[in-house]
Amino acid sequence: MPRRSEEHLEMRRQQIVRAALRAFARDGFHATSMADVIRESGLSAGAVYRYFPSKNDLVVACASTVFDAVRGALAATLAAPEPVPPDRALRHILDTALQRATENADGIDFSRVAVTAWGEALRDDALRAVVRDLYAPLRADLTAVVARWRDAGHLAPDADVEAAGQVLFGMLPGFLLQRLLIGDVEVDRYTAGLRVLTASPDTVGNRRATG
Amino acid sequence: MPRRSEEHLEMRRQQIVRAALRAFARDGFHATSMADVIRESGLSAGAVYRYFPSKNDLVVACASTVFDAVRGALAATLAAPEPVPPDRALRHILDTALQRATENADGIDFSRVAVTAWGEALRDDALRAVVRDLYAPLRADLTAVVARWRDAGHLAPDADVEAAGQVLFGMLPGFLLQRLLIGDVEVDRYTAGLRVLTASPDTVGNRRATG
Chain B contact set for A126 (CB, 8 A): none
Across the interface, of B165, B193, B195, the residue whose CB is closest to A204 is B195
What is the separation of C-alpha A174 from the centre of its chain, rounded to a whole number of angstroms? 12
ipTM over 0.90: no
Across the interface, of A123, A149, A156, the residue whose CB is closest to B28 is A123
The pLDDT tens digits of the residues spanning A116-163 come to: 888 888 888 888 888 898 889 999 999 999 999 999 998 899 999 999
Residue in B closest to A200 by C-alpha: B155
CB A85 to CB B207 under 8 A?
Answer: yes
Q: Output the CA–CA distances (angstroms, integers) from residue B60 to A163, B28, B128, B183, in the order listed.
A: 33, 15, 11, 28
Q: What is the pLDDT of residue B203?
A: 42
Chain A contact set for B23 (CB, 8 A): none
| pLDDT for A101 beyond 50 | yes
- Higher-confidence residue: B172 or B202? B172
**DSSP letters spanning A25-77:** HHHTTTT--HHHHHHHHTS-HHHHHHH-SSHHHHHHHHHHHHHHHHHHHHHHH
Q: Hey, what amino acid is at A13?
A: R
Chain B contact set for A85 (CB, 8 A): 204, 207-208, 211
CB B123 to CB A198 under 8 A?
Answer: no
CB A175 to CB B170 under 8 A?
Answer: yes
Chain A contact set for B121 (CB, 8 A): 181
Highest-scoring range by mean pLDDT, A39-48, B23-32, B202-211: A39-48
Highest-scoring range by mean pLDDT, A67-76, B1-10, B58-67, B129-138: B129-138
SS3 A199: coil
**Cα separation, A152 vs A157, whole angstroms:** 10
Q: What is the pLDDT of residue A147?
A: 94
A207 band by pLDDT with thresholds 50, 70 and 90: very low
Q: What is the pLDDT of residue A38?
A: 96
| pLDDT for A20 beyond 50 | yes
Across the interface, of B87, B115, B200, the residue whose CB is closest to A119 is B115
* A125-139, B136-150, B156-170: least confident range: A125-139
Across the interface, of A155, A174, A194, the residue whose CB is closest to B173 is A174
| pLDDT for B195 beyond 60 | yes
Highest-scoring range by mean pLDDT, A201-210, B6-15, B16-25, B44-53: B44-53
CB B200 to CB A155 under 8 A?
Answer: yes
A100 band by pLDDT with thresholds 50, 70 and 90: low
SS3 B67: helix
Q: What is the pLDDT of residue A3?
A: 61
Across the interface, of A118, A172, A208, the residue whose CB is closest to B87 is A208
- Phi–psi pair at A107, nearest 5 degrees: 65, 25
B103 band by pLDDT with thresholds 50, 70 and 90: low
CB B85 to CB A207 under 8 A?
Answer: yes
**Cα separation, B210 vs B203, whole angstroms:** 12
CB A167 to CB B171 under 8 A?
Answer: yes
A199 band by pLDDT with thresholds 50, 70 and 90: low
**Cα separation, A137 vs A143, whole angstroms:** 10
| pLDDT for B77 beyond 90 | no
The pLDDT tens digits of the residues spanning A167-176 come to: 999 999 999 9
| Segments of chain A assigned E as strands | none
What is the separation of C-alpha A101 from the centre of its chain, rounded to a whole number of angstroms? 10
Q: What is the pLDDT of residue B56?
A: 81
CA distance B172 to chain A (A): 7
Size of interface A-B (CB pairs under 8 A): 245
Q: What is the pLDDT of residue A57?
A: 87
| pLDDT for B211 beyond 60 | no
- Secondary structure letter of residue A179 according to DSSP: I
